[in-house]
Structure 1
Amino acid sequence: MAQSFSLRGQVVDEDLQAIAGAQVELLNSVQLQFTTSEGFFTFNVLTDTLYTLAIRSLGYAEQRVTLSPTTQNSVQVRLQPSAKILAEVQIDGTGIRSTSTSSQAVITVTRSDLDQSAEGSFVDALTPVAGINAINTGVGIAKPVIRGMSYNRIMVNDQGVKQEGQQWGSDHGLEIDQFDVQQVEIIKGPASLRYGSDAMGGVINILPTPFPERGQLQTEVKGIYQYNNNLRGLSAAAEGNHQGWLYRLRYSQQDFDNYRVPADRFTYAGFELPIYDERLRNTAGQERNFAFTTGLKRDWGQSTVKISRFHQRVGLFPGAVGIPSGYQLQRYDQRRSIGLPRQDNTHWKVLWNTQYGWDRSILEIDAGYQHNQRLEESLPHTQNVGQTADGTVAHDLRLRTYSLNARLIQEMGSQWTVTYGVQGQRMQNNYGGFEFLIPAFTTWQGGGFTLVEYADSPVNPRWQFNAGLRFDGGQHEILEHQQPLYDETLQPTGEFEQRNADLTRQFADVSGAVGAQWQPSSTWQMKLNVGTSFRMPTAIELASNGVHHGTFRHELGNPDLQSERGYQLDYALTYQQGKISSTLTPFVAYYDQYIYLAPTASFSRLPSGSQLTWEFRQADASFWGGEWVTNYQPISNLNVQASLEYVANYNLDFQLPLPLTPPFSALGEVTYQIITQQGWLQSLELHGDVRWVADQNRVDRNERATPGYTLLGGGISSEWLMGDTFFNIMVQVDNALNTQYLHHLSRYRLLNLPEPGRNVVVTLRVPLSFNLNS
């Protein structure tokens, strides 16, 4: 039998009183425990190496400790109340972007959570979180939705820098390598005060990954296979800390076939068309991603530079662009072939992150450069265009973004913390291709804010308050576009049509919020946040003018749009006692001059049109809803979780719901862990889940209702030991009953195409750690 080691500890508060029910996670492992009534926990491990544990409990800041089975295998962890106490500044490599003291609903998603989701993209892996959904285009293309809001109302921050990659389109995914994410913080609801105009609906923060301790080298190899589309993926990483010099390297790749659906035909424009072999034609794809980080960690803090490249090439179902003809849908054997139409996206990113601490202050600086090139390729004749110099490139969108953010956090006495922040961004968009949708533009945005936080006691605060004010301004400089015209033989006529004129628009406004937390006892916690925010219209909303294939409409911008103004109220009530914890998070919001796309009564005038013209309009709107999540742990190795989510909205001018609103849904999950320590198999975790989604009949004009459905899933996570190598194997089954259903937020729903059928995902992870000082 292999030798076993124990890691033990006790979790206490500042008064050395035991904290029962605290969550203790052995990072990069499937092991997770809750402390006993006396605050104790025990992990059994197999190798003599360093282990990092994350300890979390309601009302306290997360704390991480490192233990060694032979040199220090026990610890007493004293959790700090969640108020920021900066008198002793310590920079641990994760920065202090975490908003655990926020008066809003904040969710932390760990690497083990992402692994258990085992989805085709980073965004899809977040969807088990209540209130989070995804607008998807088949497999591998997804964008986040928080409480019914998406596009430029949801900000994705990668290590403090806003991700910019043409996120205005429903068919545009998020250029993030899902294997290169270790911890995510999700803010549900408006966060404009801290993050700016584009955070009106929420924020997804990809937090920096902590580096190993000095003298440590850690490596990881992860493989993944998905049955449904025969996906094969590999990700390898190495990271270390040599006398404070930091380094990390990761390479990831994925290749996948056309995916399976539980149907052999679909209905399009009144015609019934075949789906041969129950596979959607031309939905194969591939990814090639790498990232390199280097930096320096010293007593004063840490500074790193990260260079990454994301590349995705994925086919689109023929009906997504133009009209699918019979030959395009015929059976063919080369299921990995990526034909036309397709997307080819490349995203370069350079990030510089610095945290510097002194006395009772911390300065954080995040700077970034991004170059996003998005190619949309298709056959010109499907858009009624003849041969052009652009060949098959319909759109060649090139966006360059420069970002600089800085925050100064200062403790002003024992109870007050003040944060000062400034942000600036410059975006420049150019384009090519034989089609036109959005013009060339240059956008400048900048803002500054002040946030004040108060805790009634720096040791054990029952009340915490925060209030802040922010000013933002921006300018769009949009250039004219003249589009060549073609005759009925698809030849250029030599004439041109002005799609948009030169336009310069400036915007400026203020945002503000006040919030409070009240923790009357260790059992109850309440949060309330009231704020007002604004969002300036994008260049796309002001000046787009062309057929957006796949959304099946001609999108027409409105140069007279004004800024949106929102008034939001968020509430969170949490109960935690012994083996049960429950959180209720209702919200309500009113928006003045809310920007949305609305259908008109006319068809597109373009030769490639044959679609209704939709134009950007403004109307007053309201949103309301909430989430309820409950966890119950009847015994130490069994956990039961149930969650509900609901969001509704209303166009107050036309008395209609807004489009693309997620339906009411419920998710139930059961997890059972077995520690065997017998032979090769050392531990086993079984989990099952059931998701029920209601009918979505609250739809906008010309938006189809979607019937509800129920999905079953489950999986096994295990830890193994072979020789001196310790590794993990996970098997996940999604849509176990091969249910045929429509996802209300899917692009392909417009074609009546069902979502992927049964999928079995197998993941293998082999981590290795070396002590270079020994």
Structure 2
Amino acid sequence: MTTHLTIRLLLVVIGSLLAGAAPAVAQTGTIGGRVTAAGQPLELVSVALAGTTTGTTTTSAGEYRLEVAPGPYQLVFSFLGHTTRKVSATVQPNQLTTVNTELQVTPANMAEVVVTGVSRATEIRRSPVPIAVLSRREISLNNSGNVIDAAVKGVPGLSAVTTGPNISKPFIRGLGYNRVLTLYNGLRQEGQQWGDEHGIEIDQYDIDRIEVVKGPASLIYGSDAVAGVINMLPRLPSGPAGTLQGEALSEYQTNNNLVGTSLGLHYNQHGWQYAARASYRLAQAYRNALDGRVYGTAFRELNLTTMTGVEKAWGSTHLYATLYDNLQEIPDGSRDSLSRRFTRQLFDGSQDVLKNRPVVPTEQLGTYRINDLHQHIQHYRLLSRTRIRLGQGEVNALLGAQQNIRREYNHPTAPRQAGLHVALNTYSYDLRYAAPTWQGLETTVGLNGMYQTNTNRDATDFPIPDYTLFDVGGYVFLKRTFGKLDLSGGLRYDTRTLQWPDFYVEDNPATGFARQGRAENAAGTPPQFADFRTRYQGISASVGATYLLSEKLVLRANVARGYRAPNITEVGSNGLDPGAHIVYLGNRSFGPEFSLQEDLGLSVYLPDAEVSVSVFNNQIDNYIYQARLNDADGQPVVIVPGNTTYQYQQGRAQLYGTEATVNLHPKSLPGLEFNNSLAYVTGLNKEAALLEANGAAAKYLPFIPPLRTRSEVRFTSPRAVGPLTGSYVRAVVDYSAAQNNFYAVDNTETRTAGYTLLGLGAGTTIVAGPQRREWCQLFVQLDNVFNTTYQSHLNRLKYFEYYTASPDGRSGIYNMGRNLSVKVMVPF
């Protein structure tokens, strides 16, 4: 039985458990009360039990109630624009424990708590490393094609390399790919993130919160977190015990006629929790004023998620199972040279003559049907999270199994023959012990890593070999508070083994394409990938401090050494990636990257405003980057006709920049917010030999986003109007400056013009019944109001161009035009 089938069977088993499991009979107690502010009840206050996943929200009367196992608890009451309050209580069996509390109005982010990038739950303002948080409501406000784009719109310093509306790779402060670690509920996402042409395999409708660490997080997570971490946290069951609850969501976007639907269910009783969600999205090719509809950008995406868990006095354990299935078209940008209309490929090899390709008929551009040239990506995930209380200490264990299957169909004459077909299996572990506080010292020790295998299946192109990888790292983290000063730091050691045997490629006479070969058939021909084994190792460390100059003024500083082992394509690639239209060549002699980054930040929390400014400087040794390969005469090397050849290089680099936010919410004008952010980064190449050979063209690093500012004016009605509550209107101006500092060697990158985009939005929550229960939420967002024609500097489609000149003077493919999104969420 294959691993693929095994994981699918496990998903079925988990689904059956969710449907049929019955909670064990156990004694329970009830905790409840009323939450007020200035003597008035507060509705929709979040009430959670610290250290657990149990929680609920208050009614319109400010009341709440939770059924829990008997024992001591700490309740955390939080509400936007108010202080977070923590209250201890002991729940007795079969009794109601009443806890009433009053919240004070205060800046929203003063007590925001995060779990990503830290050894234990920490207030944002006490973290020496910049951390940003996006709530589910903030995610819903924005119109986005995928969950990464939603995060980019809300977090300064976060950007994305894109290949159409459904493919985004996160970049933090100018660094991306395997330098940014993406997590799903704490589990590292392993889906061949070295590639450009597929996104993050996570259901955006299931995400309740996004936490972004901007800066090295190698100390906690090991390799691949040198730039930062993005943690996608799914929704958890909440609300009254013993009642099946859920949510139905529907979304429509006008630009590419995207239709999205999602249904989530959750139930909890006697400490047992269950949840399930199914989501489906499909879209046609997107369009803009210059290109019309962009052929090859339609997609269909299915997500299934299940969870079962239990919360008891001893701790908790939760088991998740997810399925992601995406059919994604592959754009190539070929056009008619005069009309600039998109053309389509009909033949393979020498028979494919660009000028003879037919124009794509209009009816094939505006359809949900996926064309023959597409990729099929499937991602299966099993995740177990367990927390066990040991006296005043705590053990956390995370175990995960993932399988990522990727097929790229790039043969028009054989549409069912995959050009690329790889299966990546990953088994992850993360063990952490938070020791009891001793003499004011918090100590955490941890061990984490993964075992990974990659297998090429029935395909014709082999950009990477079959390989195995074993990764392990251990760390110790210390934190001590001295009055207003918090000091923290730690040390980590990592080791990674990467290996593969000889891998042969031979002609397949039955199909005319290549196939995986055997050594006995090689007849002296060398393998495409000769056997290889290496071991990478490195030490990570960090020292940071936060100082409360006052309760509303916080100074933070951090110095961190990050470590990243080269990924498989950087070391072992030797072939065509058909979806990227690039032949990649790796380098076996590469050593690990090491970064040294300094961060300095200041945050001010005032009654009418919040101001945050941070500066950073990051120096990287053995920095790995792509560059086009030229011959001795300076001409591009062509290994596969019609495809560009890139070879990975290694050198030294420096990145520095700043981020700032100024959020105004005057108390004299309740409901009014004026939020502003700025992000700027410069990436410099410090490799002397490259600079000497290429001069100013090699001065800057590739994939560096330009200066970006974002300003939003939002008014949220402080009072309900009939059945409408939380009604808001907003206007957003998103400005990206021209990027004149780019990696120009061999025209790898070109200048990108600046642009300004205007967005308008409105929404409300409709309540019904005598208890004014939430009936539905409505979000309407219009992006790119003026239908501006623009190209993002990190848009890969900008370089999808076959001609050196065009009739309109424009080259490449442009970003999405005007787009109206309507989203409705109905809880029940």
Q: TM-score range by the shorter chain?
A: 0.7 to 0.9
Of residues 579, 586, 597 in structure 2, which corresponds to 1:568?
A: 597
- The equivalent of 2:22 in structure 1 is none
Of residues 760, 766, 769 in structure 1, which corresponds to 2:826?
A: 766
Of residues 544, 548, 552 in structure 2, which corresponds to 1:519?
A: 548
Distance 1:550 1:613, change over 3 A: same
Of residues 330, 352, 360 in structure 2, which corresponds to 1:329?
A: 360
Specify the SS of the correspondent of 2:630: strand
- 1:352-371 matched pairs, under 5 angstroms: 352-371=384-403
C-alpha deviation, 1:187, in angstroms: 0.2
Deviations 1:239-275 (A, max 9, x none): 12111111011111111111121114xxxxxxxxxxx
Distance 1:682 1:580, change over 3 A: closer
Matched, 1:448 2:474: yes
> For 2:535 and 2:148, how far apart are their aligned partners in 1?
33
> For 2:113 and 2:45, how far apart are their aligned partners in 1?
25
Of residues 416, 424, 428 in structure 1, which corresponds to 2:449?
A: 424
Of residues 449, 461, 464 in structure 1, which corresponds to 2:486?
A: 464
Instruction: Indicate the structure with greater strand content.
Output: 1
Specify the SS of the correspondent of 1:749: helix
Amino acid at match of 1:355: R
Counterpart contact for 1:305–1:353, Cα < 8 Å:
yes
Amino acid at match of 2:242: G
Amino acid at match of 2:583: H
> For 2:133 and 2:44, how far apart are their aligned partners in 1?
13
Distance 1:549 1:661, change over 3 A: farther
Larger CA deviation: 571-580 vs 680-689: 680-689
Counterpart contact for 1:95–1:355, Cα < 8 Å:
no
- The equivalent of 2:322 in structure 1 is 308
Of residues 228, 237, 241 in structure 1, which corresponds to 2:268?
A: 241
Deviations 1:43-77 (A, max 9, x none): 9949987699634789x9786999xxxx9896225
Deviations 1:427-484 (A, max 9, x none): 100113111211110000000000000011xxxx410000100000010012332223
Amino acid at match of 2:760: G
Counterpart contact for 1:564–1:593, Cα < 8 Å:
yes
- The equivalent of 1:134 in structure 2 is 160
Deviations 1:557-583 (A, max 9, x none): 001101111111011110122101100
Counterpart contact for 2:248–2:261, Cα < 8 Å:
yes
Distance 1:424 1:510, change over 3 A: same
Of residues 508, 511, 533 in structure 1, which corresponds to 2:562?
A: 533
Matched, 1:509 2:538: yes
Of residues 182, 186, 189 in structure 2, which corresponds to 1:156?
A: 182
- The equivalent of 1:708 in structure 2 is 754
> For 1:720 and 1:196, how far apart are their aligned partners in 2?
46
User: What do you get for the CA RMSD once the two structures are aligned?
Assistant: 3.4
Counterpart contact for 1:447–1:470, Cα < 8 Å:
yes
> For 1:168 and 1:499, how far apart are their aligned partners in 2?
20
Amino acid at match of 1:660: F
Specify the SS of the correspondent of 1:748: helix
Matched, 1:632 2:664: yes
Matched, 1:120 2:120: no
C-alpha deviation, 1:135, in angstroms: 1.1
> For 1:688 and 1:740, how far apart are their aligned partners in 2?
20
Percent of residue pairs bearing the same amino acid type: 28
- The equivalent of 1:229 in structure 2 is 256
> For 1:64 and 1:211, how far apart are their aligned partners in 2?
22
> For 1:476 and 1:552, how far apart are their aligned partners in 2?
26
- 1:597-608 matched pairs, under 5 angstroms: 597-602=626-631, 608=640
Counterpart contact for 2:630–2:636, Cα < 8 Å:
no
- The equivalent of 2:404 in structure 1 is 372
Deviations 1:397-418 (A, max 9, x none): 1100001101111233252100
Of residues 748, 751, 765 in structure 1, which corresponds to 2:797?
A: 748
- The equivalent of 2:767 in structure 1 is 721
- The equivalent of 1:33 in structure 2 is none
Matched, 1:697 2:746: no
> For 1:302 and 1:585, how far apart are their aligned partners in 2?
37
- The equivalent of 1:591 in structure 2 is 620
> For 1:709 and 1:84, how far apart are their aligned partners in 2?
36
Amino acid at match of 1:756: M
> For 1:509 and 1:440, how far apart are their aligned partners in 2?
25
Distance 1:358 1:745, change over 3 A: same
- The equivalent of 1:646 in structure 2 is 680
C-alpha deviation, 1:553, in angstroms: 3.2
> For 2:176 and 2:375, how far apart are their aligned partners in 1?
21
Counterpart contact for 1:604–1:611, Cα < 8 Å:
no
Deviations 1:463-511 (A, max 9, x none): 0000100000010012332223599x96779976632211001011211
Specify the SS of the correspondent of 2:426: strand
C-alpha deviation, 1:608, in angstroms: 2.8
Distance 1:356 1:417, change over 3 A: same
Counterpart contact for 2:673–2:714, Cα < 8 Å:
yes
Q: How many residues are matched?
A: 704
- The equivalent of 2:817 in structure 1 is 757
Deviations 1:584-636 (A, max 9, x none): 01100111111111222137877633444321111011010021001011222
Larger CA deviation: 623-632 vs 597-606: 597-606
- The equivalent of 1:88 in structure 2 is none
Matched, 1:185 2:211: yes
Distance 1:360 1:53, change over 3 A: closer
> For 1:584 and 1:533, how far apart are their aligned partners in 2?
23
Matched, 1:733 2:776: no
Of residues 690, 705, 724 in structure 2, which corresponds to 1:681?
A: 724
Which residues of structure 2 form unaligned runs of 5+? 1-32, 48-56, 67-75, 90-96, 335-343, 346-353, 516-520, 692-698, 801-811
Matched, 1:289 2:289: no
Distance 1:99 1:314, change over 3 A: farther
C-alpha deviation, 1:520, in angstroms: 1.4
Instruction: Give the structure-2-normalised TM-score.
Output: 0.79
Counterpart contact for 1:601–1:612, Cα < 8 Å:
no
Larger CA deviation: 723-732 vs 508-517: 723-732
Distance 1:65 1:400, change over 3 A: farther
